[in-house]
Amino acid sequence: MKLAVLGGSFNPVHNGHLALAEAAHREAGFDRVLLVPARFPPHKQAPQEVCDAQRLQMLTLACPASSWLEVSSIELDREGVSYTIDTLRALRAQLHDLLTAKIAMIIGEDLVTGFSSWKEAAALACEFDILLACRPGFPDHSFPFPHRRLENEPIAVSSSTIRQAIREGRPWDSLVPPAVYRYIVEQRLYDER
């Protein structure tokens, strides 16, 4: 099995996340893509507006009954800061009998400039494959670590713009899967008005 991992705060999960996962599956040939919500992201503030269970529920609603797209709570189940290398090593240990290639991690171009500050960045790039995804509004920086470019269609959406749209009462329903939209509305998430 060829496995790719897309981590993040997913606060909330949106169509851009799902498009990246689909590009890894369809265009890069990964059999399975795992969406991994971070408990305490090391490079950004932990989500305040929603709890871990709500982020996990939104992810579950975003990929129902898929044969290739799954959600993993590995970082939510673990104490402490969510370091990518720890997560990927744990997944490799859990799945070693099933893996037919290195696990790949999907990162956006927005993370390129700070990647060298990640925990054990050089080891991370050596032990695992890196799929570098296009992100709108970010220039094509040189990336000194071994990687493969993902030929994804850049989608101009971010979780922060969705949260802002909800707060301001602007339309945002087309930016997330319908089940996630219904859940956010029903639970009144991010609505501080």
Where do we find the tokens 């329903």?
A: 173
Rg over alpha carbons for the chain, rounded to the nearest Å, is: 16
How confident is the model at residue 141, as a pLDDT? 66
Comparing CA positions, the residue from 184, 148, 177, 189 lying closest to residue 23 is 148
Say how far apart CA 94 and CA 80 lie, in whole Å: 20
Judge whether residue 11 has pLDDT over 90.
yes
CATH of domain 3-156: 3.40.50.620
pLDDT digits (tens, 9 = 90+) for 25-45: 999 999 999 999 998 766 666
pLDDT over 90, % of the chain: 74
At 175 the three-state DSSP class reads helix
How confident is the model at residue 153, as a pLDDT? 82
Question: Backbone phi, then psi, for 188, in 5-degree steps?
Answer: 55, 45
Mean pLDDT of the chain: 91
Question: Alpha helix locations (H) across the chain?
Answer: 15-26, 52-62, 84-95, 121-127, 159-168, 178-187
The domains of the chain are located at 3-156
Q: What is the DSSP letter of 13?
A: -
Contact between 132 and 150 under an 8 Å Cβ cutoff? The reply is: yes
Q: What's the whole-model pTM score?
A: 0.92
Say how far apart CA 103 and CA 19 lie, in whole Å: 19
Cross-strand bridge partners of residue 36: 7
Say how far apart CA 57 and CA 183 lie, in whole Å: 9
Say how far apart CA 126 and CA 118 lie, in whole Å: 13
Say how far apart CA 83 and CA 77 lie, in whole Å: 13
How confident is the model at residue 142, as a pLDDT? 80
| Order of strands across the sheet that contains 3-8 | 69-71, 32-37, 3-8, 104-108, 129-133, 148-150
Query: Regarding predicted confidence, which is higher, 172 or 64?
Result: 172
